[in-house]
Structure 1
Amino acid sequence: MAAEVQASFDPVSIGAQVKHVGKRYVTDVNDLIAAGYTTVDLDARFDLAFAGLDKTFFQLNVSNLFNERYFGNLSTGTSSASTTRYTFGAPRTVIGSVHFEF
């Protein structure tokens, strides 16, 4: 399940996304279960047109805002005795960028 909200207050626009994944079975016989998780992402954009920089903006994105620990990928096996692999999901990540258009 996922939800997204966006709002714009010129020259700033902000957004938030929430994603929930329920528990997942790790084996074909459903004897191992990976816990569910919820992640929150934020983004903000600041338009620089007021400074004479048309089509230019600064953007900040934050993924996994609350640094949720979760398994992003699971490789299943036939039973708990078989080899299953878990991959950790991405930690909190902050990315800033400047967009220029000519």
Structure 2
Amino acid sequence: MASKWLVMVVFVFDLIAFDLDVDAELRRSTATIAQDDSGRKYCAYHSDIATGLGVGSFLFLLASQLIIMIDSRCLCCGRGLHTNDTVHHLLVCTILNT
């Protein structure tokens, strides 16, 4: 079982990621129709902070998943906690079914 501090850190990282994601959705960029010199119309997006908030949200989720993977010693971060073949079979079946 994971320690209480680990669970709290992952929970806080997930809350921060959720907050950044909601903020990015609220500040979603809007487009305006612009016209170039030859008369063709195109969409022009305003530069805003929504992309940065989305990237920040992704990085916090990635960090929380990495913390969990390192603590649980998954297949890619060292030898697993349980040394049986069912984990490997489960991984192979999951990959083949997608």
TM-score (norm 1): 0.33
Higher helix share: 2
TM-score (norm 2): 0.34
Larger Rg: 2
Higher strand share: 1
Q: Which structure's relative contact order is higher, taking Cα pairs within 8 Å and 6+ residues apart?
A: 2
